[in-house]
Structure 1
Amino acid sequence: MDTILVVDDNSSICSALTLMLDIHGYKALSCETPEQAIDIVTKQDISLVIQDMNFTRDTTSGEEGKQLFYTLRQQQPNLPIILMTAWTQLETAVELVKAGAADYMGKPWDDAKLLTSINNLLSIYHLSKQNSQLTRVDSERMSAINGADLCGMVFGSGAMQRCIDLSLQVAKSDVSVMITGPNGAGKDKIADIVQANSLLKDKPFVKVNIGALPMDLLEAELFGAEAGAFTGANKVRIGRFEAADGGTLFLDEIGNLPLSGQVKLLRVLQTGEFERLGSHQTRKVNVRVISATNADLADDISNGSFREDLFYRLNVIELAIAPLNQRVDDILPLAQHFVGNEFSFDKPAQQALLTHAWSGNVRELENVCKRAVLLASNAVLTLADLGLSPQTHQILNRQFNRNQDSNLSQGSNLSQEKQSTEEVGESLLSAQPADPDKQQIEQALVTHNGVIARVAKSLGLSRQALYRRMDKYGLSSK
């Protein structure tokens, strides 16, 4: 049974609406203040909200209602909200409908019209939830039908789906691929998917974390060394390129490779040739290189710590992974995967997972979930079990008390376009610059020769945000 929340400072209106809803088979709750509404939506499963626009005596501006509306939209972007007021203002109505309000009605209301709107909105709401839940299942099913191996990847966001689709598309080629994104976002998993679906899937797949190797041993690890080439080299060392001959070499944290190693790597990519340390014998290999970095290589090129010609050799195709807090639809599927089928999360815990900053991305989420399972007293995990920072615990309770200008500014961002869930997460967790138009993006692509990292930085966008806008305007990095 759907639960509908009525929010109105007039107890008579609350009683009238809840009675009508009860008669027509809905479970109805009511409250008289925005703070109570925030608390109820945070802790209970609400399918629809009917809210007043003014909650203080002799107030008719609608600002209180707008603030409540935007706060609820922040918490649950897809929750249907019907706005109701005796002081209907066309300008306010247009603004909030553009920002996602499901309907806007005046008082006194028409019962038949209101019930029709509720029925239609709930049908759309449940269909949207069902489609969202099926997105990952359907994509996995289609990938299985097409013979793709997703290597156990768990996701639910459109952003990750697009990244995986591109990964599968480039997997069959032999071009160099660069995977970009923050630490812990899943770059190694994307590399696994590229390899598992490539023509080299049965060939050697050698992984090297450049950031974890001592600088003085990097070149020996990559290219090998003869006995006596350096102190402690008592026997011939086979390098990773030789070990990966005929297959694929994954170079993680490529931005940490010193310039001397970059020169040799560039030569291998161009000719397939190299020499072991301490040897003059030229060796030749045939290796596909997949690299990954959390660094801004455009900056490194500018300050001279990374070769531009090597960047272009490595970055034939870029697979950009957004931070987890910009892929909100991935959070709960991942969390459920990490805790297993024996555990679940109550609603406050789910809200905390969705609003946490996740600076450590998927790796941090996995650690939090493992800790919660280890310390939990029962199968339903709570906010306390997660052990997140006090800031995360308090964020839902303080949302309504945020500065009103901040709320209205976020509402304006919402009204510019109907944002996807990952865009909502992005707008909540980071300040967004003015949205560039098509001409600005085209000019930036020309100025920076189509290098996505540079273009995104110049426009003040993440790579994923840039890709969304390029898709919107039909632009290509070429």
Structure 2
Amino acid sequence: MLKTLIVDDQPAVRTALEVLFDLHALPTLVASSPQEALELVATEDVGVVVQDMNFTEATTSGHEGLQLLRDIKRLDPDLPVVAMTAWTSLEMAVRLIKEGASDYLAKPWDDTKLVNTVKNLSRLRELALENTRLRAGGARARAALAQRHDLRGVIYSSPVMHEVVSLVVKVAPADVPVLITGPNGAGKEQVAEMVQANSRRRDKPFVKVNCGGLPDQLLEAELFGAEPGAYTGATKLRVGRFEEAHGGTLFLDEIANLSLTGQARLLRVLQLGEFQRLGSNVTRKVDVRVISATNVDLPRAIQAGTFREDLYFRLAVIEVRLPALKDRPEDVPVLAEHFLGGLRPEGEPLHLSAGARQALLAHDWPGNVRELRNRLQRAVLVRKGVLLEAVDLGLSEAGAPMKAPAEPAATSPALSEDEVAERAAVEQALAEARGVVSRAAAQLGLSRQALYRRMERLGLRVERRLLP
């Protein structure tokens, strides 16, 4: 348990504080001089320092206490310090806060206020240390994972993404089908490459097919091949992707777009390891690991009758759910710096402004990682200097996409009586939130995106105001 360090040259004061803190179950350490205090800070688990400002009876300037505060902050910048002195002044209080003191109390002290202050600061110190330990542990775990496995350049910092990556490298050697689900732009193809890179088939072919990019008949020919004359325009033998991937891995992106006929034929390959080319009765054997991906809710598609349940269970022996970028905000800054590093023109030290960083963290990222990279690429192209601003990203500092100027009110359609009342409620919420859309949305019980859609429908524009 963290301890409260009492630093005072008067034995009676030290004893009184020890007794007070002991009554409230706060363990203590005591020091009678600055040098002794610094030694304890360096060697003990100190959570809060309660220090006197004067250690020489002949002086009341507080310079010794100020120097001790500076020395403590050099040793541990995050350690909370409560300064106490019988010689109070506003000037000294301001100076102490600027130097890093967490609080400033006068002697004789108020027992309740002092105890509450120490308890709160100690708890905050515990939380800060725990967060530091978690971050350090996470960094070590990520480094160890990257050292042992080929992560295909996946960049992340969030615990939720670490769980995904850990699952991927764990199941990659198991030669079973993997289904990767998640929103568009979240990096499903990169995860598929990670599975392949860490599998026993890493040195074999890795063939990719987009099931949403071809008509039904052409897609079957793409997957299984076709004999000459199998369909209009088929003038020569076509080798399918299954044959190309023999011994390796086949990645089927947008698997939900495969027709029911195609699904039946794919199911046969997964069950029996054999297929027939279009226009052929010859059965061919194939050894392929299938990795598939989709942004569609396949259980719902099964209920709608557009996807086969038996195929789903064949594909999803292992299912990897990739989170949306908005659900892993810790990854936004590290991804932004990574992309910016690759987009910088040679020799130009581009940086994100504080407003740009705020905009990145506030944005919902409906396009996920792909949108993040595109916005940074846009910023690099339209920037006016080496500092990238939120406007260069096409965002406001509140994270909202920049929109073209709204039509003049005179051209807006007339609002119904209900819409007039709705507009008034939205205007009031925006006014109370000083134009900060996320706060107004929370007050109205809406998401930020929903509020923007409602504002657009009601002919409203937001002008963000500075908080007083």
TM-score category, normalised to shorter length: 0.5 to 0.7
Among 13, 20, 23, the alignment partner of 2:96 is: 23
2:183 is the alignment partner of 1:182: yes
Q: Are the counterparts in 1 of residues 398 and 437 from structure 2 also a CA contact under 8 Å?
A: no
2:389 is the alignment partner of 1:382: yes
Q: Are the counterparts in 2 of residues 200 and 248 from structure 1 also a CA contact under 8 Å?
A: yes
Measured after TM superposition, the shift of residue 121 of structure 1 is 3.2
Instruction: State how far apart, in whole Å, the 2-side matches of 1:429 and 1:299 are.
Output: 25
Aligned to 1:350: 357
SS of the counterpart of 1:175? coil
Q: 1:409 to 1:135 in 2, by over 3 A?
A: farther
Among 120, 128, 131, the alignment partner of 2:131 is: 128
The Cα offsets for residues 7-66 of structure 1, whole Å up to 9 and x where unpaired, read as xxxxxxxx98895363265369xxxxxxxxxxxxxxxxxxx9x9xxxxxxxxxxxxxxxx
Instruction: State how far apart, in whole Å, the 2-side matches of 1:219 and 1:158 are.
Output: 40
Instruction: State how far apart, in whole Å, the 2-side matches of 1:310 and 1:379 are.
Output: 52
Q: 1:319 to 1:154 in 2, by over 3 A?
A: same
Q: Are the counterparts in 2 of residues 21 and 27 from structure 1 also a CA contact under 8 Å?
A: no
SS of the counterpart of 1:251? strand
Q: Are the counterparts in 2 of residues 383 and 393 from structure 1 also a CA contact under 8 Å?
A: no
Q: 1:353 to 1:144 in 2, by over 3 A?
A: closer
Matching of residues 46-61 of structure 1 within 5 Å = none
Letter in 2 for 1:374: L
Measured after TM superposition, the shift of residue 345 of structure 1 is 2.0
Aligned residue-pair number: 327
Instruction: State how far apart, in whole Å, the 2-side matches of 1:428 and 1:233 are.
Output: 52
Matching of residues 389-404 of structure 1 within 5 Å = 392-393=399-400, 398-399=435-436, 402=439
Letter in 1 for 2:154: M
Q: 1:351 to 1:109 in 2, by over 3 A?
A: farther
Letter in 1 for 2:364: A
Instruction: State how far apart, in whole Å, the 1-side matches of 2:363 and 2:354 are.
Output: 14
Aligned to 1:86: none
2:251 is the alignment partner of 1:214: no
Measured after TM superposition, the shift of residue 392 of structure 1 is 2.7
Matching of residues 49-448 of structure 1 within 5 Å = 110=113, 114=117, 117-118=120-121, 121=124, 124-125=127-128, 128=131, 131-132=134-135, 134=136, 137-145=139-147, 147-340=148-341, 342-388=349-395, 392-393=399-400, 398-399=435-436, 402=439, 406=442
Measured after TM superposition, the shift of residue 336 of structure 1 is 0.9
Of structures 1 and 2, the one with the larger relative CO (CA 8 A, separation 6+) is 1
Instruction: State how far apart, in whole Å, the 2-side matches of 1:112 and 1:23 are.
Output: 20
Letter in 1 for 2:145: S
Q: Are the counterparts in 1 of residues 184 and 367 from structure 2 also a CA contact under 8 Å?
A: yes
Letter in 1 for 2:382: L
Q: 1:401 to 1:128 in 2, by over 3 A?
A: closer
Measured after TM superposition, the shift of residue 153 of structure 1 is 0.4
The Cα offsets for residues 279-302 of structure 1, whole Å up to 9 and x where unpaired, read as 111001011100000001111111
SS of the counterpart of 1:388? coil
Instruction: State how far apart, in whole Å, the 1-side matches of 2:369 and 2:245 are.
Output: 29
Q: Which has the larger radius of gyration?
A: 2
Instruction: State how far apart, in whole Å, the 1-side matches of 2:335 and 2:269 are.
Output: 38
SS of the counterpart of 1:290? strand
- TM-score under structure 1 length normalisation: 0.61
Letter in 2 for 1:264: R
Letter in 1 for 2:269: V
Q: 1:219 to 1:126 in 2, by over 3 A?
A: same
Measured after TM superposition, the shift of residue 191 of structure 1 is 0.6
SS of the counterpart of 2:399? helix
Instruction: State how far apart, in whole Å, the 2-side matches of 1:382 and 1:430 are.
Output: 26
Letter in 2 for 1:275: Q
Letter in 2 for 1:207: K
Q: Are the counterparts in 2 of residues 253 and 292 from structure 1 also a CA contact under 8 Å?
A: yes
Instruction: State how far apart, in whole Å, the 2-side matches of 1:298 and 1:112 are.
Output: 56
- TM-score under structure 2 length normalisation: 0.62
Identity %, equivalent residues: 46
Aligned to 1:79: none
Instruction: State how far apart, in whole Å, the 2-side matches of 1:399 and 1:16 are.
Output: 38
Letter in 1 for 2:338: H
Q: 1:428 to 1:197 in 2, by over 3 A?
A: farther
Q: Are the counterparts in 1 of residues 201 and 249 from structure 2 also a CA contact under 8 Å?
A: yes
Aligned to 2:36: none
Q: Are the counterparts in 2 of residues 251 and 289 from structure 1 also a CA contact under 8 Å?
A: yes
Instruction: State how far apart, in whole Å, the 2-side matches of 1:251 and 1:154 are.
Output: 23
Q: Are the counterparts in 1 of residues 204 and 249 from structure 2 also a CA contact under 8 Å?
A: yes
Q: 1:129 to 1:17 in 2, by over 3 A?
A: farther
Letter in 2 for 1:230: Y
The Cα offsets for residues 412-462 of structure 1, whole Å up to 9 and x where unpaired, read as xxxxxxxxxxxxxxx98899xxxxxxxxxxxxxxxxxxxxxxxxxxxxxxx
Measured after TM superposition, the shift of residue 137 of structure 1 is 4.0
Instruction: State how far apart, in whole Å, the 2-side matches of 1:314 and 1:216 are.
Output: 22
Letter in 2 for 1:388: L
Instruction: State how far apart, in whole Å, the 1-side matches of 2:169 and 2:224 are.
Output: 29
The Cα offsets for residues 316-361 of structure 1, whole Å up to 9 and x where unpaired, read as 1110011111111111111111111833322222121111111111
RMSD: 3.7
Q: Are the counterparts in 2 of residues 206 and 248 from structure 1 also a CA contact under 8 Å?
A: yes
Q: Are the counterparts in 1 of residues 358 and 399 from structure 2 also a CA contact under 8 Å?
A: no
193-202 vs 15-24, which moves further: 15-24
The Cα offsets for residues 118-143 of structure 1, whole Å up to 9 and x where unpaired, read as 577368537736853x5664233201
Q: 1:408 to 1:397 in 2, by over 3 A?
A: closer
SS of the counterpart of 1:301? helix
Letter in 2 for 1:26: E
Instruction: State how far apart, in whole Å, the 2-side matches of 1:16 and 1:281 are.
Output: 96
Q: Are the counterparts in 1 of residues 356 and 397 from structure 2 also a CA contact under 8 Å?
A: no
Measured after TM superposition, the shift of residue 178 of structure 1 is 0.3
SS of the counterpart of 1:212? coil
SS of the counterpart of 2:320? strand
